[in-house]
Amino acid sequence: MKVLAVIPARIGSTRLKRKMLADIHGKPLVWHTWTRAMQAKRVSHVIVATDSLEIRDALLPLGADIVMTPASIKTGSDRVAEAVRRFKRFTPDIVLNVQGDEPLIPPRAIDLAVEALLKDRSATMATVASPITKPKELNDPNVVKVALDRDHNALYFSRSVIPYKREKTSQKIYKHFGIYAFRTGFLKEYVDLPRTPLERTESLEQLRVLEHGFKIKVALGKFDHIEVNTKAELEEVRRILRK
Residues 6+ apart with CB under 8 A from 172: 131, 132
User: Would you state the pLDDT for residue 84?
Assistant: 97
Exposure of 139 by Cβ count < 10 A (0-12 exposed, 13-18 middle, 19+ buried)? Answer: exposed
User: Would you state the pLDDT for residue 175?
Assistant: 94
What is the identity of the amino acid at 130?
S
Buried b (16+ CB within 10 A) or exposed e, 54-72: ebbebbeeeebebbbbeee
Q: Which parts of the chain register pLDDT below 70? A: none
User: Would you state the pLDDT for residue 166?
Assistant: 86
d(CA 50, CA 7): 8
The domains of the chain are located at 3-242
Q: What is the pTM of this model?
A: 0.92
User: Would you state the pLDDT for residue 165?
Assistant: 86
Helix (H, G, I), strand (E, B) or coil at 233: helix
E strand intervals along 174-229? 174-176, 179-183, 217-220
d(CA 36, CA 48): 13
d(CA 45, CA 67): 13
User: Would you state the pLDDT for residue 168?
Assistant: 84
User: Would you state the pLDDT for residue 188?
Assistant: 93
d(CA 66, CA 73): 16
Q: 3-242: what fold?
A: Spore Coat Polysaccharide Biosynthesis Protein SpsA; Chain A (3.90.550)
